[in-house]
A and B are shown apart, each in its own frame.
Chain A
Amino acid sequence: MTIISKLALAASLVTALTSVSIAQENLKGLTIGFSQIGSESGWRAAETSVTKQQAEERGIDLKFADAQQKQENQIKAIRGFIAQGVDAIVVAPVVATGWDDVLTEAKEAEIPVLLLDRGVDAPEDLYLTSVASDQVLEGRTAGDWLVKEVGDADCKIVELQGTVGSTPAINRKQGFEEAIAGHANLTIARSQTGDFTRAKGKEVMEGFIKAENGGADICAVYAHNDDMAVGAIQAIKDAGLKPGTDIKVVSIDGVPDIFAAMVAGEANATVELTPTWPVPPSTRSRHFSPMAPNPQSSSSPSPSSTRLPTIPRANTTPARA
């Protein structure tokens, strides 16, 4: 398999060379299968469009499969890619477990697999590399912001989790809990899944408000993504409360709608992540044009903190491959 050596070479080079044009030129005409989770959030829709755009620029024949948030669809798609004999497979795994079999099949077919933005619980030799953001850090950043924001005041937090069992839900929860661990005045009163969607975020928040004395007891809502936060903001408004003031809103992603909410004073902070494929600002999709965050809010600490288990700091290379 030539592609593996190519990627490994480029990966080792990239620490020295910031340009990855070498890898880029050699990719022309390759077929790459991309199994995307779905487009459950604005962030993921942007990731999909950036991926397609980047593949086109590099002359890659990208086979795109939308799994509609179902692991069985992803496994089917990967098996399809193996049968078609693609040169490489990129997967954004919807949940962490249950990948061993299909990854072994890919390995036996000598097709390298790259994980995108979420991790899996599988032996590391089953995939080439993982290009993922440090989701624990994302959660911790959100938590740190809230700790600083509330100071010594008591604060009852409600949490809107992502899809049960998905790595961002697990890690963003863990990071947030780590950040507030030393502060007894901050407690997570309720935690439920909103499946990363607006509608569920709104519905769950409605339930939380009823359960916590009409919302009067809630000091802040922490959503694992912005779309759920947007839904929660609507629920808070429907309950006659002021989001951003009566109930603070902190979330993760940095999609345009949350910035709009911040400008309106209805959201307080978000942890901004650009879609994982590193794209120069000029080629950013129009839906991701940078917007000015609310100057009053202490938002967006670190864009796209990236992590690579196999080759540290080589984050751009596999992504561009």
Chain B
Amino acid sequence: MKRLHLERLANPQLLALAAVLLINWILFPNFFRITWQDGRLFGSAIDVLNRGAPVAILAIGMTGVIATKGVDLSVGAIMAVCGAVAATMVVAGYPTPIAVIAALGVGVVCGLWNGFLVAVLDIQPIIATLVLMVAGRGIAQLITEGYIVTFNDPTLIFIGTGSLLGFPMAAVIALVLMILVTLVVKRTAIGLFIQAIGVNRSAASLAGINSRMLLMLVYGLSGFCAAIAGILVAADIRGADANNSGLWLELDAILAVVIGGTSLLGGKFSIPLAVVGAIIIQAMNTGILVSGFRPEFNLIVKAGMIILILMLQSPLVGSAIGFFRRDDKRVVSK
């Protein structure tokens, strides 16, 4: 039993995370130095959790979508829309809870729209969500009239920059959401149904799974997650930046899911590992910031690291490692 646990811990994602953190530590020895300041933990490692939270939250929703053999390109734009809704509503004087609920509702509606296009109209997910990816940012800019809508609402700011037990709110929200969604999909049959649709939608439907309903559900969840991320990002800078909020984050979220070992072809998925994937990406970003590299190298360093991580996960490399391991055992047994 203990052996099984150790082997489960030694999966490529956690190894990659350990490697990235190790590199960060070598480049910047104070990386893990955490101090207590103004009632919160303060340090680069905490920054990784805080800054990685939006992509982690997106990845939670994205995992479900990708597991059904879909993809949601619109999450970045939905973030911008929901941030804009929350910000303009608090500026207009609505109470914060109503603004937040409205923003979450808009996110769910956006997600259900994607789900409707995919599940009912049978449009390919990449095209169906591309619609909102392009239009959503325009809608967000309409809401903010092209300006950064700044606000001073203390509750909303607390959501973005406050802390709970010393940990940043964004990270706490991401963790709670991860646990809740994981429990729901793993403790009920929903996870199995999602996987079944991803493997073969027709077969799943014939087996009696209401695939339309489930697809609407996963896209709706993705929209909901994007709404949370959008509110967090807007609350963090105390302003809704329609043009930049969530820009290209859909790609980071997809990458996080893929690093987490979920195949773009659908089927088997893991939400916690997708969150680990998001943290790996952010650990790289933060590492680059504190390492003092010239900004011209940012993208090259990131690309190089990602190629390495994906190579570690490739079946070819995996089987090669397995092959050598078997070899080792044989030698020992002799």
Contact = CB atoms under 8 A, between A and B. Distances in A.
A234 B147 contact: no
Contacts of A291: none
Contact of B237 (A69, A208, A231): A231
B44 to A, nearest CB: 5
Contact of B236 (A191, A192, A193, A202): A202
B296 A164 contact: yes
Interface stretch (A6-14, A35-43, A89-97, A127-135): A35-43
A239 B237 contact: no
A32 interface: no
A308 to B, nearest CB: 28
B244 A199 contact: yes
Interface string B242-279: 11110100000000000000000000000000000000
Contact of A240 (B38, B47, B150, B241): B38
B146 A45 contact: yes
A210 B51 contact: no
A207 B290 contact: yes
B52 to A, nearest CB: 11
Contacts of A49: 146
Nearest to B289: A207
Interface residues of A, number: 39
A198 B35 contact: no
A203 interface: yes
Interface string A196-218: 01111011101110110010000
B237 A48 contact: no
A208 B290 CA distance: 6
A227 interface: yes
B238 A234 contact: yes
Given A40-B243, A199-B233, A211 B292 contact: yes
A289 interface: no
Contact of B137 (A45, A68, A203, A257): A68
A161 interface: yes
B286 A48 contact: no
A45 B148 contact: yes
B129 interface: no
Residue of A45, A66, A164, A231 ringed by the most chain B CB atoms within 10 A: A45
B37 interface: yes
A191 B243 contact: no
Contacts of A164: 295-296, 298
Nearest to A38: B243
Contacts, number: 92
Contacts of A39: 141, 146-147, 242-243
Given A42-B147, A164-B295, A191-B294, A198 B289 contact: no
B271 to A, nearest CB: 25
A210 B290 contact: yes
Interface string A144-160: 00000000000000000
B278 to A, nearest CB: 15
B28 interface: yes
Contacts of B150: 257
Given A45-B146, A199-B245, A287-B147, A190 B43 contact: no
Interface string A51-83: 000000000000000101100000000000000
Contacts of B298: 164, 192-193
Nearest to A208: B289
B113 interface: no
A227 B44 contact: no
B96 interface: no
A207 B42 CA distance: 11
Contacts of A207: 44, 47, 286, 289-290
B313 interface: no
A100 interface: no
B30 interface: yes
21 contacts: A39-B146, A40-B244, A42-B147, A49-B146, A68-B137, A68-B243, A69-B243, A161-B295, A164-B295, A198-B239, A199-B233, A199-B241, A207-B47, A210-B30, A210-B43, A230-B237, A231-B237, A234-B161, A240-B38, A257-B148, A287-B147
